[in-house]
Amino acid sequence: MAVIAETGPDTRNLIARLWSNQQARSVIIQIVALTVVFAAFGFILRNVVINLENVGKEFNFSFFLYPAAYDITFSPFIEYSSRSTHLRAAVVGILNTMLVAACGIVLATIMGFIMGILRLSTNWLVNRLVYCFLEFTRNVPVLLHILFIHGLIVIQLPVPKMALNFADSFFLTNRGFYIPQPVWEPGAGIVAAAFVISVVFVVFFVRWAKKVQDETGRVYPVFLISTGAIVGATAVAFLAAGMPLSWSFPELKGFNFTGGLAIKPEFIALWLALSYYTSCFIAEIVRAGILAVSHGQTEAAYALGLRPNRTLQLIVIPQALRVIVPPLASQYLNLTKNSSLAIAIGYMDVVATVGGITLMQTGKEMETMMVVLLIYLTFSLVISGFMNWFNRKMMLVEREAKKKRAFFSFKTGTGEDS
Amino acid sequence: MSEGNTAAQSYAPGTHPDLPAPIRTTGPVAWVRMNLFSSPLNVALTLVAIGLLWWVMPPLFEWIVLDSVWTAESRKECWDKMEVPEGGACWAFIKDRLRLFVYGFYPQASRWRVNLSFVLLAMAVVPVLYDKMPGRKFGLWYAVAFPFIAGWLLVGGLGLTPVDTDQFGGILLTLIIGVTGISFSLPIGILLALGRRSKMPVMRILCVMFIEFIRGVPLIALLFIASSMLNFFLPPGTVFDLLIRVLIMVTLFAAAYIAEVVRGGLQGIPIGQFEAADSLGLTYVKAQMLIILPQALKISIPGIVNTFIGLYKDTTLVLIIGMLDPLGIGRASLADAVWAGLSREVYLFVALFFFVCCFSMSRYSLYLERKLHTGH
Amino acid sequence: MRPLNVLAASVAVAALTVAGAASAGTLDDVKARGVLRCVVSTGIAGFAYPDANGVWKGFDIDFCRATAAAVLGDPTKIKAVTSTGKTRFTLLNAGEGDVLWRNTTITFSRDVGVKLRFHGVNYYDGQGFMVKKALGVTCATQLDGASICIQTGTTTELNLADYFHANGMKYEAVTIETNDEARQNYISGRCDVYTTDASGLAATRSTFTDPDNHIVLPEIISKEPLGPATRQGDAQWSDIITWVLNATITAEEKGITQANLDSMKSSKDPEVLRLLGVEGSQGVELGLSKDWAYNIIKAVGNYGEIFERNIGVNTPIGLERGLNALWTDGGLQYTPPFR
């Protein structure tokens, strides 16, 4: 820059001079970009206003307070009837999406870890079998999996009259899995309180045990103690309160089972299909994560005298998790978004209620789709926020480890291998 | 020689001839022991696996192959030919509808244009996949031009009879959406990734907002917006071809994912590379084109191919807005009272089609990954 | 960077070439284009489905062909724009179709709220219930507590909710997207009952291996007049669609068929002569050719022939004429005179 300045006054026009200045250029580009984006939004907004006026539609959300007039049978959390409002229908849809996404994430993670580990098994047959399953599942659209599982459940399982009966309290039919439903009686509050208190205790205990382990290397049987504390405290409270619990058993009455808790086939199908489809991707991530932990780590652990399961728990898994967690987040997001295919088999999620029937009956495409998009964006923000937090937690461990290792190598003067 | 002699014979150290390995460590028996029954857990796993195969495979094989019917005029005839109705697959239905599955509603007289574009597609794919092909440079330029050539061939105009895009369907439609999405989402995705890592805050925020918005919502919601709401966003009276709207949405959707994959690749480039480019006095564009992107793209190829596979599978979702991809064609054909009730055959056929396409893509990505891995 | 510029330019060009303003007169548009675009379903047995060559067939498609015969003189100059229950009205309103022949129920909110124009009824339908005979159910009031399969995105789910609410009964709604899925759910026993328009029930029943083991209950719980729709604000085009439908029905009233069409040209009935364009200039007043109705009947026949060919008792669908018989035979099909 200084060299150019000495060649004499710059005779080029202002814009060219500004353009050759890096900072000025970046400001110009940004202003232009921002203007273009705002202009585009303004243009779209103007068009929307004109177009809505042309077809005589109003933009408002008041229809959410009108009766929905359609039925949603699967509403496990809140009461709903066809006289309820569109808003309530939307809430039912949101809760159903959350339910299937949460259950799916849990099952997909478990199945993914199991299959990822089986893929590393030395058992040739199991290894190949899991490989074939993974490849077939990954390479076929998830919509087909959902239709397939739904068809399997509906066709292969018996009708209610011939239900598979387990001890007269569990019934498996093609209309769902019926299980006894716990009915809480007065005094149940004590049990719940005992449960909460024991959980809080366990949280503190786990933290304390970890601290002790970090400082002294002493390991407590954390899992056993935690489980024991929770189960024990809850059981004692349960007995002390005089067993404030009865069960509502499913019973075949007329066309269907009544009483008990019904898990509908649409939910089961969507849940299973989304889970095993996503678990295939998770399995690959887990496999790559475990392979990424160098074998030297395992050998070092053995050399220190750690037993194999301790090695896995203390050495391999914490390091593998660092590789596994970031891509896991996007798989969880995918699963949540894929749950929108529920509409294909009639599971009433948020796309089927707000973005489906409500949209059809009210003709409010703009408003309903806006709500649907906002809901999914919220889901994705929550999931990626949680995974980022979890990831940071894992990363923190790494930084500490690095610090310690650097300190160690400084003191002893041994070289580092990586 | 008697046995006594063998036992008594002695060898000087190092002169004993090599004996065959003990029978328990070689041969099929040993292989089975090592690979299937090496521990109690493995024994259990093996037995479970065999049980699973025994339970699933024979009925499946019977249904797909042994008891299936390949020639019939209707579902009724199909099922009459079987020992048990619905006991086998009725592939006659798929055979009868095969042309529909491939071409959709493309006018019969012009179907040579579809065939020609399939051939041209194959020719465009080869130079992209094989880097040892002679004259690959021309091949690559041709591959870049291919979407436009095929577009002209399929849509018509300039001497060819125009064909409306809503006549496209079946595998043709899947390939159009897939190929267009793949070829256009890559450049857009790269630009988005660069924008996300830009030093200019406005650019960065715009790109982040765009990427996160697209990644946060389901594709079917975007497709629905494309099919029913885009008209509200455009000046009154504008009519936009539905296929183009869908293509734009699918491309943008894939571009957001590509952007994240490429960003991962960019993050893998050591800072020294950027500094080296700067110290050579390269401009931003030149530094990116010559130094950074070639390296970043190389690391992100597996991720990019995976995104493409995802995009290709997602093309089935267009049936939710009434476009007839193979699954949609199958469902529409099921409305013909002559064939209704054969949905399993349709699903299996469509699943196989997608499996063949996507599995080859994923094998190719694996091959590339291995090839690139040997570099260091 | 150059390839990117080229790319951007070609995208812009492509966008501009497809973007064109929809002009005022649909009739002129169709004539200029030479092809009639009908919004149809993605597949409903008997009403609209593609054959092995990708040619669309069915009751609704025949009316589309009749319209093309009247407007363009050639029944093959049609294009089926497939739509789902959710996208059909937006496609029509966005100008991607000229007319909607997609067994669509005429309702107040669709006419007034969705801003469509309906032009008479080509099929009088009503929502019914189908159950397995073995259940021993004989009327709909015995369905308390049953599982019921319904297709989503239609008026049927609202009718069903209203009906059960009004009768104080409970049910489990199994909402399905396509007819084939619904069929699978019903056959396998996922649902006790399948409810949809009576025509749909008959069509679905015809695909069963044991149709005799299923009965359609006598109750019809709703009125479902199905008819063609166009965009609002094009009076001439509306008239054309209205009178295309009326021409097929009048032809049946007057006994004009595909077979005797040419001999009917020398009929003594002045209305027949007016209809076939031998006398008067009704076609020209509509903006069509003089022999527009002659072309319709030559292409697809009269209403009765269209009905019998696609969904009548001798087809797999096997529907009785019922409400769709002519008013002279105790049905509801009745048209204003050609005068």
On whether both A191 and A322 belong to a single domain, the answer is no
The pLDDT tens digits of the residues spanning C92-141 come to 887 888 999 988 889 888 888 777 899 999 999 889 999 998 888 888 88
CA of C256 vs chain B CAs: smallest distance (Å): 29
Contact C85, C48 (CB under 8 A): no
Closest chain B residue to the Cα of A33, Cα to Cα: B203
On whether both B201 and B53 belong to a single domain, the answer is no
Per-residue pLDDT, C22: 42
CB < 8 Å to C22, chain B: 237, 239
On whether both A403 and A272 belong to a single domain, the answer is yes
Residue C131 vs residue A26, higher pLDDT: C131
Please, which chains are in contact with B (at least 3 CB pairs closer than 8 A)? Answer: A, C
- Number of compact structural domains in chain C: 2
Contacts of C331 (CB under 8 A, 6+ apart): C124, C321, C322, C323, C324, C325
Give the C window 12-31 contacts with B, CB below 8 Å: 14-15, 18-22
Residue C216 belongs to a domain with what CATH number?
Answer: 3.40.190.10
Asked if A139 and B309 come within 8 Å (Cβ–Cβ), the reply is: yes
Under the banding of pLDDT at 50, 70 and 90, the label for residue A395 is low
On whether both B216 and B298 belong to a single domain, the answer is yes
Measure the CA–CA gap between B270 and B295, rounded to whole angstroms. Answer: 10
Per-residue pLDDT, C1: 36
* Residue C329 structure tokens: 């035979």
Q: Above 90 in pLDDT, residue B188?
A: yes
Sort strands A256-258 and C116-118 into parallel, antiparallel or unpaired: unpaired
Contact C191, C185 (CB under 8 A): yes
**Average pLDDT of the residues of chain B:** 84
Winning range, highest mean pLDDT, from A51-60, A167-176, A280-289, B237-246: A280-289
On whether both B220 and B368 belong to a single domain, the answer is yes
Asked if A159 and C189 come within 8 Å (Cβ–Cβ), the reply is: yes
Per-residue pLDDT, A260: 77
Under the banding of pLDDT at 50, 70 and 90, the label for residue A8 is low
Per-residue pLDDT, A123: 82
CA of B25 vs chain C CAs: smallest distance (Å): 54
Q: Above 60 in pLDDT, residue A409?
A: no
Tell me if B359 is assigned to some domain.
yes
CA of C90 vs chain B CAs: smallest distance (Å): 6
- Number of compact structural domains in chain A: 3
Mean pLDDT of A106-127: 89
Asked if C147 and A360 come within 8 Å (Cβ–Cβ), the reply is: no
Per-residue pLDDT, B5: 52
Q: Above 50 in pLDDT, residue C6?
A: no
Q: Above 70 in pLDDT, residue C3?
A: no
Give the C window 77-116 contacts with B, CB below 8 Å: 79-84, 86-87, 90-91, 94-96
Residue B190 vs residue B138, higher pLDDT: B190
Tell me if C339 is assigned to some domain.
no
Residue A204 belongs to domain spanning? 181-248
How many of the other CB atoms lie within 10 Å of CB of A409?
Answer: 12
ipTM: 0.85
Residue B35 vs residue A262, higher pLDDT: A262
On whether both A297 and A395 belong to a single domain, the answer is yes
On whether both B251 and B355 belong to a single domain, the answer is yes
Residues in chain A: 418
Measure the CA–CA gap between A148 and A272, rounded to whole angstroms. Answer: 11
Asked if C145 and A256 come within 8 Å (Cβ–Cβ), the reply is: yes
On whether both C241 and C300 belong to a single domain, the answer is yes
Sort strands C78-83 and C127-132 into parallel, antiparallel or unpaired: unpaired
Tell me if B101 is assigned to some domain.
no
B45 and A CB contact within 8 Å: yes
Residue C151 exposed, middle or buried by CB count within 10 Å (0-12, 13-18, 19+): buried
Measure the CA–CA gap between A63 and A365, rounded to whole angstroms. Answer: 12
On whether both C252 and C315 belong to a single domain, the answer is yes
On whether both C252 and C169 belong to a single domain, the answer is no
Per-residue pLDDT, A414: 35
Q: Above 90 in pLDDT, residue B77?
A: no
CA of A353 vs chain C CAs: smallest distance (Å): 10
* Residue B320 structure tokens: 């939710």
- Number of compact structural domains in chain B: 3
The pLDDT tens digits of the residues spanning C46-69 come to 888 888 888 899 999 999 999 999
Tell me if B235 is assigned to some domain.
yes
Tell me if A168 is assigned to some domain.
no
Under the banding of pLDDT at 50, 70 and 90, the label for residue C8 is very low
**What does the DSSP 8-state code read for residue A258?**
E
Which of A51, A96, A255, A270 would you mutate first to test chain C, the one with the most C CBs within 10 A? A255
Nearest to A347 by CA among A269, A242, A407: A269
Asked if C158 and A361 come within 8 Å (Cβ–Cβ), the reply is: yes
Measure the CA–CA gap between C22 and B235, rounded to whole angstroms. Answer: 12
On whether both C43 and C87 belong to a single domain, the answer is yes
Asked if B358 and A138 come within 8 Å (Cβ–Cβ), the reply is: yes
Residue where one domain finishes, among candidates A248, A280, A301: A248
Per-residue pLDDT, A42: 92
Smallest Cβ–Cβ distance between C45 and the set B85, B151, B336 belongs to B336
Q: Above 80 in pLDDT, residue A350?
A: yes
**Average pLDDT of the residues of chain C:** 85
Per-residue pLDDT, A396: 52
On whether both B81 and B26 belong to a single domain, the answer is no
CB < 8 Å to C113, chain A: 363
Per-residue pLDDT, B1: 44
pTM flag (> 0.90): no
Measure the CA–CA gap between C244 and C70, rounded to whole angstroms. Answer: 7
**Average pLDDT of the residues of chain A:** 82
B294 and C CB contact within 8 Å: no
Per-residue pLDDT, B18: 82
Residue C144 belongs to domain spanning? 127-222
CB < 8 Å to B199, chain A: 26
Residue B274 belongs to a domain with what CATH number?
Answer: 1.10.3720.10
Per-residue pLDDT, A335: 92
User: Which contiguous run of DSSP H or E holds residue A179?
Assistant: strand A176-179
Tell me if C318 is assigned to some domain.
yes
C45 and B CB contact within 8 Å: yes
Per-residue pLDDT, B8: 62
Under the banding of pLDDT at 50, 70 and 90, the label for residue C11 is very low
Residues in chain B: 376
SS3 at position C169: coil
On whether both C109 and C132 belong to a single domain, the answer is no
Residue B76 exposed, middle or buried by CB count within 10 Å (0-12, 13-18, 19+): middle
Residue where one domain finishes, among candidates B46, B61, B76: B61
Winning range, highest mean pLDDT, from B31-35, B196-200, B328-332, C58-62: C58-62
Tell me if B2 is assigned to some domain.
no
CA of A97 vs chain B CAs: smallest distance (Å): 12
On whether both B44 and B191 belong to a single domain, the answer is no
Asked if A363 and C172 come within 8 Å (Cβ–Cβ), the reply is: no
Per-residue pLDDT, C17: 41
Smallest Cβ–Cβ distance between C157 and the set A175, A253, A357 belongs to A357
On whether both C105 and C155 belong to a single domain, the answer is no
Q: Above 90 in pLDDT, residue C182?
A: no
C38 and B CB contact within 8 Å: no
Mean pLDDT of C61-78: 93
Tell me if B97 is assigned to some domain.
no
The pLDDT tens digits of the residues spanning A279-298 come to 999 998 998 888 888 888 88
Per-residue pLDDT, B252: 93
Q: Above 90 in pLDDT, residue B355?
A: yes
CB < 8 Å to B218, chain A: 337-338, 340, 351, 376
Q: Above 50 in pLDDT, residue B160?
A: yes
Asked if A129 and B317 come within 8 Å (Cβ–Cβ), the reply is: no
On whether both C271 and C206 belong to a single domain, the answer is no
B232 and A CB contact within 8 Å: yes
Residue B321 belongs to domain spanning? 164-373
Nearest to C292 by CA among C234, C244, C237: C244
Asked if A343 and C152 come within 8 Å (Cβ–Cβ), the reply is: yes
On whether both B358 and B257 belong to a single domain, the answer is yes
Closest chain C residue to the Cα of B144, Cα to Cα: C3
On whether both B37 and B84 belong to a single domain, the answer is no
On whether both C111 and C241 belong to a single domain, the answer is yes
Contact C233, C22 (CB under 8 A): no
CA C280 distance to own-chain centroid: 31
% of chain A exceeding 90 in pLDDT? 20
Q: Above 70 in pLDDT, residue B376?
A: no
Q: What is the CA radius of gyration of chain B?
A: 29
Per-residue pLDDT, A104: 94
Asked if C86 and A359 come within 8 Å (Cβ–Cβ), the reply is: yes
A71 and C CB contact within 8 Å: yes
Per-residue pLDDT, A274: 94
Q: What is the CA radius of gyration of chain A?
A: 29
Mean pLDDT of C39-51: 86
On whether both B192 and B324 belong to a single domain, the answer is yes
The pLDDT tens digits of the residues spanning B307-318 come to 899 999 989 998
